[in-house]
Amino acid sequence: MSLARLTRCASGIPPVRSRHPTPPRTVFSSENPTAVRGLASETTARPVTGASHGHKIIVVGGGSAGLNVSHQLLRSGRFLPGDIAIVDPATWHDYQPGWTLVGGGLKTASELRKPLADLIDSKIKFYNDGVGEFKPQDKLLKLSGSGDTLAYDQLVVAPGIKIDYASIKGLPEALADPGSLVTSTYGYDTCQKVNGAIQKLHKGQAIFTLPSGPVKCAGGPQKIMWLALDYWKRQSRYDPTADSPIHITWASALPAMFGVPKYSAELEKLRRERGVEALFQHDLISIDDGNKATFARPGGSDTVTRRFDFLHAVPKMGPHAFVKNSPLADNAGFVDVDSATTRHKIYHDVWSVGDASNLPTSKTAAAITSQAPVLVRNLLLALGNKEPSAVYDGYTSCPLVTDHDRVLLAEFKYGGVPKETFGWVPGVDQAKPHRAFFWLKKHFFPWVYYKHMVKGTWGGPAGWIM
């Protein structure tokens, strides 16, 4: 694979960074509300009465989306120190796409995390605090900890999605019990329990679940199943053809292995070849007595209960309450943005990408590599009183780990239409698991993520942003 080629792939998005940035017209200090008023009157003619501090741009969230967007904005050369602020209560920033590999025993969780404050450029003001309330009519937001009110000209909402462990009865208790073989790759603590549990199972029934509703990285739940299967097979504990000591069941709320037909067909073939039982349209709702899993069936009252010896459970996920209960949310609670421009449908000075947005695509870090340059380009246009012109096509990707050394690299855009980066390589079919894609997943993506993506210089399949 040639990375040089990646940088040549055209994204179709106009360059975000100007080589000769226009100097900002307003000298502005985040600690000086008077300067905010100066800026506000110049650009929006609005009062900021009641604000403790003000910024040209506030980015809510210091995750994959928030850091990427903030640093791309800073690199545009159009902002002074303190013009941009990030709000996030977290202490740590985790490279979450690596948590499946932690579950598979191929990485450690601690090597994938860094202190969030260390990842934020010193020219960006960091509020290590949560959001209590959005007041988009007044271009204000209230911090939940300090109670301070911040004023903004433009707001980027990217706080991610909430993992709701309590959505499955008995799950929090089972996860917390060090003796139980109930685990989940979806949390920093819980992902570290997964590999030990896989190793401890010598015989019996293993169940892997995928819930209904929005989840981040919808391929994640089956990646850990394939890694466990591979391990048990190599340990002679799993054999699809003989009387296998371990039985494996895939219990998914969805009707098929994957949402995109091209990749779903290949994964269904793998499932059958590998002897994995499927319980489609089974949505885990309860864990009882440490060894019983109960699933809801579509349409209501029916439930199915199965005994298990090992359970990899994926909790339901949803919007954070401060987003859901705000005027920014759609009916489902996600930030209601235009699917092409990433701009809020009602409040034109509000933008959103990443898991908190209602962009109708699969929620992944790879998606953010394509969303962030569009948001940044359009927000900069809006600051110059121009209409947004950059368009997001829904690009997202799922590097689907199928073995300890292979990955099927699903890449697609809106409508589940494949949009593959390596389609031009002779003999490469991205629907077939490949060692080179595993190398990307294990080594290249984590490296480029911390070295470039969080700093705003990685555009995913479009290559590096100069």
Which positions are catalytic? 217, 398
Number of residues that bind ligand UQ1 (CB under 6 A): 14
Judging by beta carbons within 10 Å of its beta carbon (0-12, 13-18, 19+), is residue 442 exposed, middle or buried?
A: buried
DSSP run (H or E) holding 200: helix 191-200
Q: Which is nearer to ligand UQ1, 82 or 220 (CB)?
A: 220
Interaction of residue 433 with ligand UQ1, rule CB under 6 A: no
Q: Which of 337, 353, 449, 456 binds ligand UQ1 (CB under 6 A)?
A: 449
Closest approach of ligand UQ1 to the CB of residue 215, in Å: 16
Is 156 near ligand UQ1 (CB under 6 A)? no
Rule CB under 6 A: which of 368-407 touch ligand UQ1?
Answer: 369, 397, 399
Nearer to ligand UQ1, 58 or 368 (CB): 368
Which of 309, 269, 318 has the alpha carbon at shortest distance from 167? 318
| Residue whose CB is less far from ligand UQ1, 75 or 216 | 216
What are the φ/ψ torsions at residue 384 (nearest 5 degrees)? -95, 20
Q: Residue 12 burial (CB < 10 Å; 0-12/13-18/19+)?
A: exposed
The answer to the question of residue 453 lying near ligand UQ1 (CB under 6 A) is yes
Evaluate the CA torsion angle 62, 167, 298, 278 in order and state its sign. Answer: positive
Indicate the residue among 54 and 219 with the shorter CB distance to ligand UQ1: 219
Q: Assess 418 for contact with ligand UQ1 (CB under 6 A).
A: no
Scanning 126-134, 240-248, 343-351, 361-369 for contacts with ligand UQ1 by CB under 6 A, the matching segment is 361-369
Q: Which is nearer to ligand UQ1, 17 or 441 (CB)?
A: 441
Question: Distance between CA atoms of 204 and 248, rounded to whole angstroms?
Answer: 9
Which of 222, 371, 421, 430 is the binder for ligand UQ1 (CB under 6 A)?
421
Neighbours of 202 (CB within 10 A): 11
Query: Binding ligand UQ1 by CB under 6 A: which of 366, 400, 408, 465?
Result: 366
Structure tokens at 32: 């000086």
Q: SS3 for 217?
A: coil
Q: Which tokens sit at 209? A: 């679940």
Of residues 51, 448, 454, 465, which one binds ligand UQ1 by CB under 6 A? 448
6 touches ligand UQ1 by CB under 6 A? yes
Nearer Cβ to ligand UQ1, position 154 or 430? 430
Do β-strands 125-127 and 84-87 pair in parallel, antiparallel, or remain unpaired?
parallel
Q: Does 38 bind ligand UQ1 (CB under 6 A)?
A: no
**Contact 344/335 with Cβ under 8 angstroms?**
yes
127 binds ligand UQ1 (CB under 6 A): no
CA angle 221/374/354 to nearest 5° reads 30
For ligand UQ1, which stretch binds (CB under 6 A), given 23-31, 164-172, 223-231, 365-373? Answer: 365-373
The minimum distance between CB 246 and ligand UQ1, in angstroms, equals 29
Residue 41 or 447 with smaller CB distance to ligand UQ1? 447
Stretch of 84-92, 162-170, 279-287, 448-456 lying at the interface with ligand UQ1 (CB under 6 A): 448-456
Shortest Cβ distance from residue 97 to ligand UQ1 (Å)? 4
Phi–psi pair at 141, nearest 5 degrees: -140, 150
Is residue 21 within 8 A of residue 76, CB to CB? The reply is yes
Select from 127, 231, 310, 445 the one that contacts ligand UQ1 (CB under 6 A): 445
C-beta pairs of 137-145 under 8 Å, 24+ apart in sequence: 137/327, 138/46, 139/40, 139/44, 139/46, 139/48, 139/349, 140/48, 140/50, 140/51, 141/58, 141/60, 141/87, 143/87, 144/89, 144/322, 145/89
Taking CB under 6 A as the binding criterion, the range among 204-212, 221-229, 258-266, 364-372 that sits at the site for ligand UQ1 is 364-372
Work out which of 63, 97, 160, 315 binds ligand UQ1, going by CB under 6 A.
97
Q: Which stretch binds ligand UQ1 (CB under 6 A): 169-177, 234-242, 381-389, 447-455?
A: 447-455
From the list 367, 366, 373, the residue with the least C-alpha distance to 441 is: 366
Cα(23)–Cα(18) distance, integer angstroms: 11
DSSP secondary structure string for all residues of 64-133: HHHHHHHHHHHHTT---TTSEEEE---SEEE-GGGHHHHHTTSS-TGGGEEEGGGGS-TTSEEE-S-EEE
Check residue 430 for interaction with ligand UQ1 (CB under 6 A).
Answer: no
Rule CB under 6 A: which residues touch ligand UQ1?
6, 97, 365-366, 369, 397, 399, 421, 445, 448-449, 453, 460-461
